[in-house]
Amino acid sequence: MTIALRRLGQSDLMVTPVGLGCWQFSQGRGFNKYWPALPEEEIEAVVAASLDGGINWFDTAEAYGGGESERQLSRVLQKAGRRPGEVIVATKWMPVLRRAGSIGETISERIECLAPYPIDLHQIHNPASLSSVEKQARAMAALVKAKKIRYVGVSNFGAKRMRETHRILAEEGIPLVSNQVHYSLMHRKIEKSGVLDAAKELGVAIIAYSPLEQGVLTGRFHDDPGQVKALQGIRKWRGFYRSKALDRSRELIDALRQVAERHGATPAQAALAWLFTFHGNTVVVIPGASKRSQAESNAAAMGLTLSPADLACLDEISQPFAGD
């Protein structure tokens, strides 16, 4: 399968439409132990399957286990024989209860955790810093100029904040490459909030996290609601796993199954393909995976070409989620 790469925003980073989100590599640390610890061999299998499937980029963060996800990613990429420059790595600075000065103060740790792989994209994880957007953007620009990172992105930024970051970075001669946001067929809020329109206008890539709503769009919880009880930690209490929410999304799951069946694919693959196709090259996706089979499925979605009729069908039937 030949995979067409796409330029990530206004950068020279050429990425596959699907990357791998690596929050689940945090080994049970941070975020109230949202993900259970994975055996190291399982992490290796997930990354190997992603690479074998053609995926060429990986997204992690400081907050994912206090750097543990970054360290695991580096370890496994090295074990897989990938040299620096052969894969693209994105990470994030955690701004909560911190000022912009922390961006420069913590970059050495980010570099150390990911070594020998360079930081291709460094992102501000959310808008919760104690410092202004301007100070954060200029601190990020300083890292680019010092050649400690290649490009700057943001995450969970609204349209206004994204535009401001873009403007300030432009004054430094640096592009705002991306905005990583929650986006799926069951969560289409960015289409109404102005984020997606602003991204298209500015040439900023949208990196969609939770594109499968943490497994809901696979249909497995609709087939067997009892699987919710098997989830660990606080994850099981997320609203989209509740019976009423599963009932609400059942019509969408049925439509995904029908579309997928026509292509010999799965509902999850159809859901991913809709996201990275419907808006041209603006949207790329970073589903996670905690099993080899999930990683294989994610990568295989890049071989799925949905017809205009398929795209329109899924667009129409997911409209009830446009405000979610």
Question: Is 64 one of the annotated active-site residues of the chain?
Answer: yes
Classify each residue of 165-201 as buried b or exposed e, where b means 16 or more C-beta atoms within 10 Å of its C-beta. bbebbeeeebbbbbbbbbbbbbbbebbeeebbebbee
Structure tokens at 217: 């769009």
d(CA 169, CA 282): 20
Burial class (CB in 10 A: 0-12, 13-18, 19+), 59: buried
CA–CA separation, 184 vs 166, rounded Å? Answer: 24
Q: Which of 34, 64, 151, 183 is catalytic?
A: 64
DSSP 8-state secondary structure symbol assigned to residue 86: S
Distances (CA, A) of 207 to 71, 80, 229: 22, 25, 30
What distance in Å separates the CA atoms of residue 266 and residue 264, rounded to the nearest whole number?
7
Torsion-angle region of residue 39: left (phi > 0), alpha (psi -120 to 50) or beta?
beta
- Bin 314: left if φ > 0, else alpha if -120 < ψ < 50, else beta: alpha
The tokens for 277 are 């196709």
The values of phi and psi at residue 264, to 5°, are 65, 35
How far apart CA 278 and CA 109 sit, in angstroms, is 38
Residues with a catalytic annotation lie at: 64
